Amino acid sequence: ASGRVVVAEAGALFERTMPVEAFRGSVMEIETGALLAREELTGRLAQSGYRAVDFVQGPGEISTRGAIVDIYPPGAKDPVRVEFIGDEIGSLRHFGAEDQRSRGKVQGVSVPPASEVVMTGPGIERAAEYLRRRAGDSEVTARDKFSLIDEIEAGRRVPNMEWLLPAFYEKPGTVFDYLSNDFLIVNDFPEETGDVLRLRGEASGDEAAPARRHLKIAPGEEELFLSGEEVSRRLSEYQNISLPVLEAGEAKGETIRFDGQLPEIETRKEHESPLDALIEEIDEAKHEGYELHVVFKTETELEKLLALLRERGVKKLRAHTGDLSHGFILPEAGVEVVTEWDILGEKKERRAAKRGKDAPSAFITSFSELKPGDYIVHVDFGIGIFRSLKRLKIGNAEGDFIQCEYAGGDKIYVPIDKLRLVQRYIGDGKPHKVDRLGHQSWSLRVKKVRTAVESVARELLELYARRKARKGYAFSPNDDMFREFELAFEYEETPDQEAAIEDVVRDMEATMPMDRLICGDVGFGKTEVALRAAFKAVEDGKQVAFLVPTTLLAQQHYNTARRRMAGHPVSMEQLSRWRVGKEAARIRHGLEEGKIDMVIGTHALLGEKVKFKDLGLVIVDEEHRFGVAQKEKLRKLKEGVDTIAMSATPIPRTLQLSLAKIRDISLINTPPEGRQAIETYIYKSSPEIIVEAVTRELSRGGAVFFIHNRIESIYRTADKIRKLMPEASIEVTHGKMSERELERSISRFMEGDVDILVTTAIVESGLDIPRANTIIIDNAHTFGLADLYQLRGRVGRSDKKAYAYMLIPATGGLSEDARRRLQAISELKELGSGYKLALSDLEIRGAGHLFGTEQSGHIADVGLELYLDMLEGAVRRLEGQEDTDEREPEISFSSPAFIPDTYIENEAERLLFYKRLSSAASLEEAGGIVNELVDRFGDVPAPAAGLIGVIELRIIMRKLGVEKADITGKRAVIQFAPRSRFYASYPPQGKLELHFETENPIEETRAALDALGGEEKAAHGAGKRSVKRR
């Protein structure tokens, strides 16, 4: 424990642990260059409790792909990628769990066990013998008894395994065994700790009760927990410092005294901005002869501060980077240190994932989730049904094909290098009639839609021209005050967040009114982007209207904005159903007179009596939750004014507008530090499920949301839960309660006085309660997909694992739409799924309409993605841009071209890379995807290298206008299309014949066409990818 500070709750001291020697023996030290078989590594990790998954997302997970093993050790900031060369470790790299991309090499890593129960041979024998003895003394059925013992003897882990700790170790350890003799124990709040010791000593076994129900056979409380007396005795063996909370004048005797003093900047900040307070501190230190040092955590933030100080005339300053919380003054040394915390308050780090400019589009990601029976669209053949991904051998060429079925049972096999021609069908949400191969109906529909799209494109361009011609207000460039406001942000901005802020600032400084959608998951930092825009607007003397769907959300945003803008001259009010009578009239008058800079409110802001003196910015949160009449009023409010819409689940119409490039969109995909994906379960409703879910959450000191969306039966439901959980404190909330009742109930829940909040969906937006990490949604089938996603987002707001239970009627009887909604929410587990969820919603509800029901029919005819492709092409043509309609060349070749199952085992992931590679528009884009393959899965095997060669050849051929290519052995015949600029160069019919010296015709053909197109240098540069072939 040298050099470590361990923070623990008092209750943790009671639990028995893995013995120290067993723990030390289970820690693996892995180093580059060490001899270690891959199978030995994965076997030991499995014994140590690591769970095998396709891709690691959280601590305690491993993933094996060919020569690569990914490990996420508990306690590590990032997972580690182990790449083998035979039985030797070739390299170790940290990587991001969000994007799965490597971040940097390391020489060695320490990998502790992921469970306190490590399943070695001797441990398994001891546990089996222990359980046989224990089972003989209990009233457990023979079936339960032998079922558990059989699982253990087979080396398989069982749920609640940690409660079998005494079965595996002859003498389990304690927390105290891990502490050295000179360890210092600081007892914060000793009065409360004393209560915990007393209460836990009396009822320490309650926590194991649900586990015992599951395991049937389990150790007794005395084997699992220390007694209160034992914990007190062990504590007394160490040097202790208590930090009691004393009332003023209560301190007696000697006090510990530190000679250092604290800087006065904290006091100054109460009356001045942080920057002014720092400048005054610098001047005073200079006057008194002190040497002042400023310490910031990161170079980036330090540079921002120094730039601001230079503009204010502070030219010289001793500045350092370092991780120091508070500053101090040492009078005798004449030194003063001021930290980032002193100046700006605590900075909380977000996980800084690399902003993925190469991240796959929503359509491509959606394609990778195809399941047999889903509808697809082939650009040439029409709407069919996806059946499977098949590997076929045709002559000497082996490859993967998409099998698609059409009317009459006819099938086509699409080679994966031509996958850009196949799209997932998103239409009107209804089953669609599939096309007949060789029939004219598809080509006629495409022709009809193409004609219709031309008129839509004209309409779009007119709409864009009107928007562009409509002169809005061009805001001033960012100044010192804005940069100071930026600097005071309590988190480090993520790359996505910074990009969104840049987008908004650029839009605001242009004359064209801004219309931007900011899409990001709950807690990903959308509000900060909006507040930067609000501050910028207020600085220029404009008013801001921040519109939200619920009173609770209005209150939360109001509190956040007040805290964030403290110290700046911003007049702010809140307008909702909680502000009535004279108070509401006062706020309306202030807005009309221009005395209020910013108002945050519900639809009350859209009332006839609400008038603004000089409105400059409208911010709308969760626009989809407003009614039709409210949206019409909102449209009038936004006329000619800069607008930001924020959403974690952009609604289909909003998404369509964004996809069609009518509305600007910024995506924030980076999750906060330590945030974990929410485990989502769908169960038939039963008292047992409710008891199990609630018990598990309450036993770890958490709280539970229980969503019941019918006010008339909510109190009966709460009474049922009280009978099931008599020891739990339960409160009810719903939308018809008075302001005072609602605030009281929510406050009690937030402060920990209430264990279970039985509530309607009123909490869908606006509650941020980190201690609540389980949500149970009653009758989940009655909610929309966006509502389920928002409700689930109420939990998982801390670094604790969160759980969502979707309860459906025990009798079944779900509609097809409800079944698909529940399937979609259970599959969208990863963080930042809002944008993908909206695409799923499009599929379930249908693409709706962009410009009326006629266009809705056209979208259903060809699918949304092809419709938008046509629309984009029509817009480009009308704008006079070059037509990018590059025909897909026919290529016949005789070498294997596919990604082996042993390289990427997960079929959905393989399909995703097939789609990404085949959709690559340039050699540079294809090279980036290949580099990602090498990073994540290891050296590219020969068949995959063959596929990459064909993909890159296709990219070059499309640009040169090649219609057909026949590549065999040492010969290639290239046929140019009549439209190609090279057609006339090779009379009589645009045919070029190539002969090679080597047996690598794909590479030779590519080199020849590179040179022919005069793109040799560019293609050569793009082709310098790190593809190691094996």
Give the whole-angstrom CA distance, residue 494 versus residue 881. Answer: 35
What average pLDDT does this structure show over 574-580?
82
Q: Residue 14's pLDDT is what?
A: 86
Q: Residue 351's pLDDT is what?
A: 45
Reported confidence tier of residue 502, pLDDT bands at 50, 70, 90 = very high
Measured between alpha carbons, how far is residue 970 from residues 681, 1000, 1020 in Å? 57, 7, 22
φ, ψ of residue 566 to 5 degrees: the values are -60, 140
Q: Residue 229's pLDDT is what?
A: 84
Q: Residue 49's pLDDT is what?
A: 93
Per-residue pLDDT at 928 exceeds 70: yes
Give the whole-angstrom CA distance, residue 301 versus residue 297. Answer: 8
**Pick the residue with more confidence: 44 or 626?**
44
Q: How many CB atoms lie within 10 A of CB 819?
A: 15
Query: What is the percent of the chain with per-residue pLDDT over 90, rounded to a whole number?
Result: 36
The number of C-alpha atoms within 13 Å of 485 and in the hemisphere containing its C-beta is 26
CATH class name, domain 890-1023: alpha beta
| Domain spans of the chain, in order of start | 28-111, 121-243, 265-344, 480-668, 679-830, 890-1023
Please check whether residue 502 is in contact with residue 477, taking contact to mean a CB–CB distance below 8 angstroms: no
Query: What are the start-end ranges of the E strands in 660-768?
Result: 664-668, 679-684, 703-707, 730-733, 756-759
Measured between alpha carbons, how far is residue 59 from residues 52, 490, 801 in Å? 12, 26, 11
Q: Specify the amino acid at residue 593.
A: E
Model confidence pLDDT, tens digit, residues 390-421: 999 887 788 999 999 999 999 999 999 999 99
Q: What is the DSSP letter of 881?
A: P
Identical fold for domains 265-344 and 679-830, yes or no, is yes
For residue 41, give both structure tokens: 């590594």
* Nearest CA-CA partner of 218 in 143, 130, 331: 130
Give the whole-angstrom CA distance, residue 205 versus residue 182. Answer: 31
For residue 415, give both structure tokens: 């080679």
Model confidence pLDDT, tens digit, residues 450-497: 998 888 888 878 877 777 777 889 999 998 889 889 888 877 788 889
Q: For the domain made up of 265-344, give the CATH fold.
A: Rossmann fold (3.40.50)
Q: Residue 1027's pLDDT is what?
A: 44
Please check whether residue 721 is in contact with residue 774, taking contact to mean a CB–CB distance below 8 angstroms: no
**Pick the residue with more confidence: 977 or 364?**
977
Q: For the domain made up of 121-243, give the CATH fold.
A: Rossmann fold (3.40.50)
Please check whether residue 989 is in contact with residue 915, taking contact to mean a CB–CB distance below 8 angstroms: no
Per-residue pLDDT at 272 exceeds 80: no
Per-residue pLDDT at 271 exceeds 70: no
Give the whole-angstrom CA distance, residue 165 versus residue 17. Answer: 7
Give the CATH number of domain 480-668; options: 3.40.50.300, 3.30.930.10, 2.60.40.1930, 3.20.20.70: 3.40.50.300
Reported confidence tier of residue 881, pLDDT bands at 50, 70, 90 = confident
For residue 14, give both structure tokens: 């009671």
**Pick the residue with more confidence: 47 or 856?**
47
> Residues 6 or more apart from 736 whose CB is under 8 A from it?
711
Q: Residue 88's pLDDT is what?
A: 94
Q: Residue 578's pLDDT is what?
A: 74
Reported confidence tier of residue 1017, pLDDT bands at 50, 70, 90 = very low
Query: Angle at the Cα of 960 (from 955 to 963), degrees rounded to 5?
Result: 85
Pairing, β 375-378 against β 422-424: antiparallel
Strand partners, 518: 646, 666
Per-residue pLDDT at 204 exceeds 50: no
Reported confidence tier of residue 580, pLDDT bands at 50, 70, 90 = confident
Most confident of 26-30, 257-261, 648-652: 26-30
Please check whether residue 871 is in contact with residue 855, taking contact to mean a CB–CB distance below 8 angstroms: no
Per-residue pLDDT at 294 exceeds 60: yes
Q: Residue 470's pLDDT is what?
A: 79
Tell me the H-state helices in 141-273: 142-153, 165-168, 190-203, 209-215, 221-224, 228-235, 265-269
Per-residue pLDDT at 353 exceeds 50: no
Model confidence pLDDT, tens digit, residues 57-110: 889 999 998 889 999 999 898 999 999 999 999 999 999 887 888 988 999 999
First to last CA, the chain: 45
Q: Specify the amino acid at residue 272.
A: E
What average pLDDT does this structure show over 1009-1017?
67
Give the whole-angstrom CA distance, residue 544 versus residue 620. Answer: 11
Give the whole-angstrom CA distance, residue 859 versus residue 367. Answer: 18
Please check whether residue 967 is in contact with residue 956, taking contact to mean a CB–CB distance below 8 angstroms: no
User: Largest alpha-carbon pair distance within the chain?
Assistant: 107
Please check whether residue 565 is in contact with residue 618, taking contact to mean a CB–CB distance below 8 angstroms: no
Of the listed ranges 264-268, 514-518, 868-872, the one predicted with least confidence? 264-268
Q: For the domain made up of 28-111, give the CATH fold.
A: Penicillin-binding protein 1b fold (3.30.2060)
Please check whether residue 366 is in contact with residue 863, taking contact to mean a CB–CB distance below 8 angstroms: no
Please check whether residue 662 is in contact with residue 463, taking contact to mean a CB–CB distance below 8 angstroms: yes
Please check whether residue 265 is in contact with residue 336, taking contact to mean a CB–CB distance below 8 angstroms: no
**Pick the residue with more confidence: 828 or 938?**
938
Q: Residue 252's pLDDT is what?
A: 41
Give the whole-angstrom CA distance, residue 106 versus residue 92. Answer: 6
> Residues 6 or more apart from 575 whose CB is under 8 A from it?
554, 584, 587, 588, 599, 600, 601, 602, 604, 605, 610
Per-residue pLDDT at 966 exceeds 60: yes
Q: Residue 831's pLDDT is what?
A: 60
Reported confidence tier of residue 849, pLDDT bands at 50, 70, 90 = very low
Measured in whole angstroms, the distance separating CA 637 from the mean position of its chain's CA atoms is 33
φ, ψ of residue 852 to 5 degrees: the values are 100, 170
Measured in whole angstroms, the distance separating CA 118 from the mean position of its chain's CA atoms is 32
**Pick the residue with more confidence: 700 or 122?**
122
What average pLDDT does this structure show over 161-166?
85
| Average pLDDT for the chain | 83
What average pLDDT does this structure show over 719-739?
90
In order, the DSSP letters of 449-495 are HHHHHHHHHHHHHHHHHHHHHS----PPPP-HHHHHHHHT-SBPPPH
What average pLDDT does this structure show over 326-348?
79
CATH class name, domain 679-830: alpha beta
In order, the DSSP letters of 319-357 are EEE----S-EEETTTTEEEEEHHHHH---BPBP-PPP-T
Q: How many CB atoms lie within 10 A of CB 477?
A: 10
Tokens 């610098």 locate to 282
Tokens 């598990």 locate to 696
Query: What are the start-end ranges of the E strands in 538-678?
Result: 543-547, 572-575, 598-601, 615-621, 642-647, 664-668
Model confidence pLDDT, tens digit, residues 231-266: 888 888 888 877 665 444 344 433 333 344 566 665
Q: Residue 255's pLDDT is what?
A: 36
> Residues 6 or more apart from 321 whose CB is under 8 A from it?
295, 296, 297, 298, 299, 302
Q: Residue 834's pLDDT is what?
A: 63
Q: Residue 612's pLDDT is what?
A: 93
Map 358-417 to HEC letters: CCCCHHHHHHCCCCCCCEEEECCCEEEEEEEEEEEEECCEEEEEEEEECHHHCEEEEEHH
Model confidence pLDDT, tens digit, residues 652-667: 556 666 666 667 888 8
Give the whole-angstrom CA distance, residue 332 versus residue 51. Answer: 57
Give the whole-angstrom CA distance, residue 91 versus residue 76. Answer: 18
Q: Which helix (H) or strand (E) holds 654?
A: helix 652-659
Give the whole-angstrom CA distance, residue 101 versus residue 354. Answer: 8
For residue 1017, give both structure tokens: 């240098």
Please check whether residue 891 is in contact with residue 953, taking contact to mean a CB–CB distance below 8 angstroms: yes
Model confidence pLDDT, tens digit, residues 306-334: 888 888 888 788 888 887 777 888 887 78
Q: Residue 532's pLDDT is what?
A: 97
